[in-house]
């Protein structure tokens, strides 16, 4: 059947500019006709509507491109183009509207329609009721009203956005999301227009209505606060929300923590003066936060909630203290220490004890004069916590520095940690080496370490003590100390090897003493191949090959097969080195080759 091009301006346009094939045009006309028939009998499905909508939008896109491409500034072309656009836009508008009347729709489709309608309003002549009227007649979800209001807001139509929210709230009076997004739109609009007292009236009014509707819903109240502070200059609204929170929920530790956290993010306030503002100064943030926590502790009476609030306050102050304790003697650091002591005292004496054992260590190190009872609590509560004692010792060293004050914490940590205290010993050793107030303090420190009842400590400091005695008191004292140490268990190879090196540094060297130490070491560590090889090398160099060979044969008898192979390889290498050595005359040692050589 032929198409009447007089009534189908778009079809005529498609054919003139060859935008579609004849077959595709005939198919398009059939689809439109079928849609009208099914729509009249209400047999059409949502899927069929969406399919035709996609087709019509594609036709419109082709026509718009052709109009732009072939534009002629003549009346006939402009009139024809206008007729095409009116026809297409009204058809698509009708299709959207009919679909919304018949079926449920989602936010994406709604926004697509609103975008289409907004972009083509000059061509649409359909006299449909406003979309908001259609939505009020249907059972639209709350999110639909939010989507529509957000769209209108983004199009700079705040009054229409407000109407959508009002209509949605009429339909869903208990939907918190609608109220929240309504306030958020007003907050953003306030920011858009550059603030001003008059523009702040509307968001405050909406907030008051909302909070009255959801009175004593603390979680929602906090959410309202969080959304409001996303725009910093809305001080009056934010101040009212914070004040209402503190008045309505002053029994809640969660509320006080939330408001205190607000301070750490830069929002400081004074309820008495009505001041609310944003600051970047970390000192002001911290002071406001701690003040808020302390205020909360005065109002919260439930023991569990009070303990939790005390825990949160203490954690925050300790975090501050650790961050700022490098700034020695600063006024702010002194204030933090003062607040920290107050928190510890309240937690321990009023609330049954500090909730973290390491806090007793922090409490002990805060003042130069350590309270014995607090120090004992620190020891009793932190038997295995190496990290906190190391941290405390570092703090003492950095902030007080004197041997007496540092030694108190070192001794306490050593008592608490026992065999795990090696890290403290190393830190204390570094401190003593650095300050060097008295070398004898370092010597006594090494001696104490060597005599420690804890093996991990004594093993390290026997060696260090011997070295210190050799360096400071001479070889005779070192020999005497060595003879005492080798009677102690467990045997320490490094002790023997170091003593051998000290003897070798003497002029002239005492070969008998060195041989004696080697013999003792080889007897103690009879399976230590590198030690045996060193001993044999000394025999080759200072006694003779025959004696070395006899010792080698005896050593092999005590070794496993694999170790024998290793020793054989090492001994052969040392013999080769010995054969190739130059014959020298030392003023202290005369080396004479064996007869066999």
Q: How far apart are CA 125 and CA 57, in angstroms?
A: 18
Q: Is the pLDDT of residue 590 over 50?
A: no
Burial of 352 (0-12, 13-18, 19+ CB in 10 A): exposed
- 129 secondary structure, DSSP code: P
Q: Which residue has the tokens 């199009």?
A: 155
Q: How far apart are CA 302 and CA 290, in angstroms?
A: 20
Output the CA angle 215-220-221, nearest 5 degrees. Answer: 65
Q: Is the pLDDT of residue 12 over 80?
A: yes
Give the tens place of pLDDT for each residue, 165-222.
999 999 999 999 999 999 999 999 988 888 777 888 999 999 999 999 999 999 999 9
Show me where the domains of the chain are located: 1-128, 526-597
pLDDT at 596: 42
Give the tens place of pLDDT for each residue, 500-526.
999 999 999 999 999 999 999 998 998
Calculate the CA 277 to chain-centre distance. Answer: 27
Q: Across all residues in the chain, what is the average pLDDT?
A: 89
Give the tens place of pLDDT for each residue, 112-133.
999 999 999 999 998 888 888 8
The two structure tokens encoding residue 295: 């205020």
Asked whether the beta carbons of 269 and 277 are under 8 A apart, the reply is yes
In percent, the amount of the chain with pLDDT more than 70 equals 94
pLDDT at 584: 56
The 8 Å CB, 24+ separation contacts for 209-212 are: 210/179, 210/180, 210/182, 210/183, 211/244
Asked whether the beta carbons of 393 and 427 are under 8 A apart, the reply is yes
pLDDT at 162: 96
Pick 576 or 301 by higher pLDDT: 301
Q: How far apart are CA 433 and CA 423, in angstroms?
A: 16
Q: Is the pLDDT of residue 489 over 80?
A: no
pLDDT at 305: 96
Ranges 85-89, 305-309, 438-442: which has the least confidence: 438-442
Q: What is the DSSP string of 531-564?
A: HHHHHHHHHHHHT-HHHHHHHHHHHHHTS-HHHH
**Residues 6 or more apart whose Cβ sits within 8 Å of residue 61:** none
Measured N-to-C along each axis, helices 46-69 and 9-16 cross at an angle, to the nearest 10 degrees, of: 50
Q: How far apart are CA 153 and CA 297, in angstroms?
A: 43
Q: Is the pLDDT of residue 102 over 60?
A: yes
Asked whether the beta carbons of 423 and 391 are under 8 A apart, the reply is no
Burial of 180 (0-12, 13-18, 19+ CB in 10 A): middle
Dihedral angle computed from the Cα positions of residues 370, 372, 378 and 383, in that order, rounded to the nearest 10 degrees: 120
Confidence of residue 134 (pLDDT cuts 50, 70, 90): confident
**Residues 6 or more apart whose Cβ sits within 8 Å of residue 404:** none
Calculate Rg over the CA atoms of the chain: 45
Q: What is the average pLDDT across 135-159?
A: 92
Asked whether the beta carbons of 460 and 425 are under 8 A apart, the reply is yes
Which candidate, 328, 481, 317, places its Cα nearest to that of 395? 328
Q: How far apart are CA 271 and CA 288, in angstroms?
A: 11
Q: What are phi and psi of 208, to 5 degrees?
A: -65, -40
Calculate the CA 368 to chain-centre distance. Answer: 34
Asked whether the beta carbons of 56 and 91 are under 8 A apart, the reply is yes
Q: Please list the residues that pair with 430 across neighbouring strands.
A: none
Instruction: Tell whether pTM > 0.85.
Output: no
Q: What are phi and psi of 135, to 5 degrees?
A: -65, -35
């Amino acid at each position: 059947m032929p198409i009447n091009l007089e009534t189908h301006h778009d079809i005529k346009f498609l054919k003139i500019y060859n935008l579609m094939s004849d077959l595709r045009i005939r198919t398009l006309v059939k689809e439109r006709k079928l849609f009208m028939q099914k729509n009249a009998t209400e047999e059409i499905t949502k899927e069929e509507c969406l399919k035709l909508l996609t087709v019509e939008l594609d036709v419109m896109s082709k026509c718009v491109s052709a109009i732009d491409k072939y534009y002629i500034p003549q009346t006939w072309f402009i009139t024809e183009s206008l007729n095409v656009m009116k026809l297409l836009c009204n058809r698509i508008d009708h299709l959207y509207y009919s679909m919304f009347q018949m079926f449920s729709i989602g936010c994406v489709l709604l926004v697509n329609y609103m975008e289409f309608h907004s972009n083509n309003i000059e061509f649409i002549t359909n006299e449909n009721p406003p979309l908001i009227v259609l939505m009020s007649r249907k059972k639209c979800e709350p999110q639909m009203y939010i989507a529509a209001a957000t769209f209108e807001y983004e199009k700079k139509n705040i009054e229409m956005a407000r109407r959508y929210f009002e209509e949605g709230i009429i339909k869903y009076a208990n939907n918190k999301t609608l109220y929240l997004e309504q306030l958020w739109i007003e907050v953003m609009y306030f920011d858009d227009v550059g603030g001003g007292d008059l523009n702040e009236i509307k968001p405050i009014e909406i907030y008051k209505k909302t909070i009255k509707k959801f009175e004593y819903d603390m979680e929602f109240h906090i959410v309202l606060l969080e959304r409001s502070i996303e725009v910093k200059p809305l001080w009056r609204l934010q101040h009212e929300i914070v004040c209402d929170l503190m008045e309505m929920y002053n029994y809640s530790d969660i509320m006080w923590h939330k408001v205190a956290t607000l301070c750490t993010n830069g929002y400081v306030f004074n309820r008495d003066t009505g001041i609310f503002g944003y600051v970047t100064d970390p000192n002001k943030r911290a002071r406001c936060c701690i003040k808020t926590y302390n205020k909360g502790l005065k109002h919260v009476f439930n023991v569990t909630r009070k303990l939790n609030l005390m825990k949160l306050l203490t954690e925050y102050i300790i975090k501050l203290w650790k961050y700022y304790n490098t700034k020695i003697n600063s006024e702010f650091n002194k204030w933090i220490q003062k607040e920290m002591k107050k928190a510890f005292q309240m937690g321990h004496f009023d609330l049954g004890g500090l909730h973290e054992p390491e806090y007793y260590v922090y409490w002990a190190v805060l003042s130069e004069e350590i309270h014995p009872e607090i120090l004992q609590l620190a020891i009793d509560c932190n038997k295995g916590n190496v990290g906190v004692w190391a941290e405390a010792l570092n703090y003492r060293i950095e902030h007080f520095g004197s041997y007496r004050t540092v030694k108190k914490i070192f001794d306490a940590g050593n008592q608490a940690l026992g065999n795990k205290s090696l890290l403290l010993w190393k830190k204390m050793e570094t401190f003593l080496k650095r300050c060097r107030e008295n070398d004898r303090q370092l010597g006594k420190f090494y001696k104490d370490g060597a005599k420690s009842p804890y093996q991990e400590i004594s093993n390290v400091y026997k060696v260090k003590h011997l070295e210190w005695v050799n360096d400071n008191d001479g070889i005779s004292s070192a020999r005497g100390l060595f003879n005492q140490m080798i009677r102690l268990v467990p045997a320490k190879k490094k002790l023997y090897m170091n003593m051998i090196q000290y003897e070798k540094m003497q002029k002239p060297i005492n070969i008998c003493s060195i041989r004696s130490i080697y013999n003792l070491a080889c007897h103690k560590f009879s399976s230590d191949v590198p030690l045996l090889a060193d001993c044999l090398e000394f025999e080759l160099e200072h006694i003779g090959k025959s004696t070395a060979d006899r010792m080698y044969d005896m050593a092999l008898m005590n070794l496993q097969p694999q170790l024998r192979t290793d020793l054989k390889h090492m001994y052969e290498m040392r013999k080769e080195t010995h054969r190739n050595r130059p014959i020298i005359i030392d003023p202290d040692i005369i080396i004479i080759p064996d007869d066999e050589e």
